[in-house]
Structures are given as structure tokens and as C-alpha cells.
Amino acid sequence: MITAEELAAILEAVGAHIASEIDRKLTDPLTRLATLEARPLARDGRDGAPGVPGPAGERGRDGVDGKAGVDGRDFGDLAVIHDGERTITLLGGAGDQVREVGRIYLAGLPLYRGVWTDGREYHSGDRVTWGGSEWHCTMPTQSKPGDGSKAWTLAVKRGRDGRDAAR
């Protein structure tokens, strides 16, 4: 039979592994915004670059070349940053400027928070151990699991003590 402490350790290890995998997959090649460089898109010949012919059948105007346009951006100028919890931030860059494009909050994502602590705020998706059982939080609360609060749902019930093996 597994003890509550062993169960808590297993749940913590699994949660940490999942969080690190999410973080690795979201941030590996994309967090290079500090050293953002212009990355021109491939030219297809329609941008008026000297020495690059246009598509067959198109003819440019006679005279002086026009002003060169700004190179396009690619997805290398986008960064996805995971805070290790439930928030994913999208950042976009142009030259030296970086701007937050948006945030994604993964409400309800299960996160193990350890043993319940009095006075701590818990949110939907938080999981805690208390009284040898594991509890799942369904709404923001500071209440104690098992005290009749609708904010907590029993996820894993504490087992009974085993019989003494020395019999």
C-alpha cells in the first residue's frame, strides 16, 4: 500500500515533469527576442530588387528604381514564454522593439501545490493533499478541504491503515 507522503511525492514529480515538458516545448528556440535580428523573407522577384527579374510577362516602368521597401518579418520574430504555471505570453518583435501580442491563461490546468496551507489562495485546477487525501480546487478559495466547502472536490480518498504484517 502506498502512503500519503509517497503519493504526494509521485504527484509532485509527475507535475514537475509535465511543467518542464510544456516549458521546454514552448520556449526552446523561440525566446531569442533579446537578440532579435531582421530576417528578410525570400524574394520572389516582384520587389524591384536590382538584377532580379520579375515574373514572365510583367514589365517594369522605365526610369529610376523606386525606394527600397522594408523587409518582411517571419515567425522567428515571435517568442512564446511559459511562466511555469498557467500563463503563456506571446511577444512579437520588429528591429529593437518588442511588444506583447497576447496572453493565454490556461484556467483549470491541474497543478499540485503540496500540502494545504492555511491563508494561501488556491485557484481552479490547484491540487493539494490534506488529511491523507488529495483534493482538487474548483474555484478561488482559502478554505480548508473537507470542511464542506464547495471549492474542493475529493480526488483521492485516504486509505485505511493496513494490518500489522507481524501476525
CA distance 151 to 124: 8
Residue whose C-alpha is closest to residue 128's, from 143, 141, 117: 117
- Is 61 inside any structural domain? no
- Is 35 inside any structural domain? no
User: Per the structure, how many domains does the chain have?
Assistant: 1
- Is 65 inside any structural domain? no
Q: Give the N- to C-terminal CA distance of the chain in Å, as an integer.
A: 17
132, 113 Cβ separation under 8 angstroms: no
- Is 128 inside any structural domain? yes
The residue segments making up the domain with residue 117 are 111-156
Regarding pTM above 0.75, the answer is no
- Walking along the chain (167 residues) 10 residues at a time, the average pLDDT comes out as 68 67 55 41 43 54 68 68 91 80 89 96 96 95 93 93 72
CATH number at residue 119: 2.10.10.20
